[in-house]
């Protein structure tokens, strides 16, 4: 039986590359989540318990654990996004997609020679990529529901509100976490505006190049394209 999880994983793999791993096999229960959270340290305690992704390298292999709370799963089962997006499922869907994306890109980066790291740039890279890819998934869902019509400006405004105007980390007591989520949200918000200006084919090509960049190069790329958008607006 095809699940929402497997459909989203296959979507990402068609965009980037097959990882040859069924990430659903990496799902863990709440007890294991608590164990891994304790091992991860104090900063992890501030992160949301709605969902978490755990990464660890050992003996040359990448170990992945993905946790979803019972509440989040229940919301997506009661309000299946494949039947339409609404205020009941948009926030749970965002969290759901982001965790799959974190795991998939961690696997891709590991195979490219980058081990999971406690460095801030590694974490921010996954967060930024996750925000960008999740927004593109939301666009795809909305476009499907609008067929044979087209998405409206209000549709996009609604999606962008839920994706980029939600809590961006201001509630964290950790200055590092506040900075991480505020910066990556701001960058993703800017970059996705640029992506929406591209044709479908150009957008795919752009994000395939983007995903392989390190965090500093991603920021440089976003700065470049943001400047191009501003110049284009000025010409109009």
pLDDT digit string, tens, across residues 4-29: 999 999 999 999 999 999 999 999 99
Residue 227, pLDDT score: 74
pTM for the complete prediction?
0.92
CA distances, 2 to each of 9, 85, 106, 109, 236 (Å): 11, 19, 24, 27, 46
CA distance 183 to 166: 13
Per-residue pLDDT of 44-79, as tens digits, reads 777 888 999 999 999 899 999 999 999 999 999 999
Who wins on pLDDT, 147 or 179?
Answer: 179
CA distance 14 to 11: 5
Per-residue pLDDT of 82-96, as tens digits, reads 999 999 999 999 999
Per-residue pLDDT of 153-173, as tens digits, reads 999 999 999 999 865 656 777
Residue 234, pLDDT score: 45
Conformational region of residue 69, where left means phi above 0, alpha means psi within -120 to 50, and beta covers everything else: beta
Which ranges of the chain does DSSP label H, i.e. alpha helix?
4-15, 30-40, 70-78, 90-111, 120-146, 153-164, 175-196, 200-211, 215-235
Helix (H/G/I), strand (E/B), else coil: 19 = coil
Q: According to the per-residue pLDDT averaged within each range, which of 113-122, 201-210, 225-234 is highest?
A: 201-210
Residue 229, pLDDT score: 67
Residue 40, pLDDT score: 81
């Amino acid at each position: 039986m095809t699940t929402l999880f497997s459909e989203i994983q296959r979507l990402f793999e068609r965009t980037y590359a097959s990882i040859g791993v069924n990430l659903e096999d990496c799902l863990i229960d709440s007890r294991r989540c608590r164990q891994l959270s304790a091992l991860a340290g104090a900063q992890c305690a501030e992160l949301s318990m709605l969902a978490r992704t755990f990464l660890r390298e050992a003996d040359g292999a990448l170990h992945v654990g993905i946790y979803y709370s019972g509440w989040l799963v229940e919301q997506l089962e009661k309000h299946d996004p494949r039947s339409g997006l609404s205020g009941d499922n948009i926030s749970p869907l965002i969290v759901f997609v982001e965790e799959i994306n974190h795991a998939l890109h961690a696997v891709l980066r590991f195979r490219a020679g980058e081990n999971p790291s406690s460095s801030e740039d590694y974490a921010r890279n996954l967060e930024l990529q996750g925000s960008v890819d999740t927004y593109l998934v939301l666009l795809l869902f909305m476009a499907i529901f609008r067929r044979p019509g087209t998405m409206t400006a209000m549709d996009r405004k609604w999606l962008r509100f839920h994706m980029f105007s939600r809590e961006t980390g201001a509630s964290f007591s950790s200055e590092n976490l506040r900075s991480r989520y505020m910066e990556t949200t701001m960058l993703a918000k800017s970059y996705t505006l640029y992506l929406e200006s591209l044709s479908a084919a150009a957008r795919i090509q752009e994000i395939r190049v983007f995903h392989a960049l390190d965090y500093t190069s991603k920021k440089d790329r976003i700065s470049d394209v943001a400047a191009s958008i501003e110049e284009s607006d000025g010409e109009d």
